[in-house]
Amino acid sequence: AQSVTQLDSQVPVFEEAPVELRCNYSSSVSVYLFWYVQYPNQGLQLLLKYLSGSTLVKGINGFEAEFNKSQTSFHLRKPSVHISDTAEYFCAVSSNTGNQFYFGTGTSLTVIP
Amino acid sequence: DAGVIQSPRHEVTEMGQEVTLRCKPISGHDYLFWYRQTMMRGLELLIYFNNNVPIDDSGMPEDRFSAKMPNASFSTLKIQPSEPRDSAVYFCASSTWDTKTQYFGPGTRLTVT
């Protein structure tokens, strides 16, 4: 079975500062990794995903993440955040044996003007 | 292309009433997932289907909950009888085996009074 740990439940950051949201996973098989964003009163929207290939993945809205197999991590980064990035961010893992996702508990990013 | 469609977007009902939530997946997607999101429990997978067949319903909280997928373009989640603790946002998502990516609907906000 797989599981995901998002180490920070809340991350406040000033506008235009860099941010990193941490995600660690556990799995005994090959994994696929995802980051989703949820704005207030909306559904989850895909930010980026790692299926194979380059371990540095670029997504929408200037976000990127790096798959680190030895550290079992998939941290999300953005070099300069905007007010509009204030949202809940979810990390998820699935395996090559099925399409079921295992979600983390989410990180609430608050961008301070 | 239309995304995942859910209806209704909001539902307010009294305890003991039957509630039916509806989902139309993205055309061509062969996996369908039902999730529930609350502040206390986060995002929970309730059940998922592959090619209209329920694969894993271990997340369904109790017998009051049932889900069906009569064809590839429609699924329902029914709660009978509803209770106040069922109040939550219910999401539907769909995916394909090869893309691995789940696409979420906007959700149904259920309030049981």
Residue-wise pLDDT tens digits, B28-44: 999 999 999 998 888 99
Q: Residue with structure tokens 């289907």?
A: B49
| Alpha-carbon gap, residue A2 to B89, rounded angstroms | 24
> What does the alpha-carbon distance between residue A16 and residue A7 come to, in Å, rounded to a whole number?
23
pLDDT of residue B1: 65
Most B CBs within 10 Å: which of A10, A39, A95, A99, as the mutation test of the B interface? Answer: A99
Is the Cβ–Cβ distance between A59 and A47 less than 8 Å? Answer: yes
Q: How many CB atoms lie within 10 A of CB B104?
A: 21
Distance from the Cα of A17 to chain B's closest Cα (Å) equals 28
Binary contact (B102, A99; C-beta < 8 A): yes
CB-nearest to A42 from B31, B56, B106 is B106
Q: CA distances (Å), A48 to each of A36, A62, A71, A90, in order?
A: 7, 10, 19, 11
Within an 8 Å CB–CB cutoff, is residue B25 touching chain A? Answer: no
Does residue B107 belong to the interface with chain A, where contact is any CB pair within 8 Å? yes
- Reported as a pLDDT band with limits 50, 70 and 90, residue B98 is confident
| Residue A1 pLDDT > 90 | no
Residue B87: the pLDDT is 97
Quote the mean pLDDT of chain A: 93
- Show the beta-strand stretches assigned E in chain A: 3-6, 10-14, 19-21, 23-26, 31-38, 44-50, 56-58, 64-68, 73-78, 87-95, 102-103, 107-112
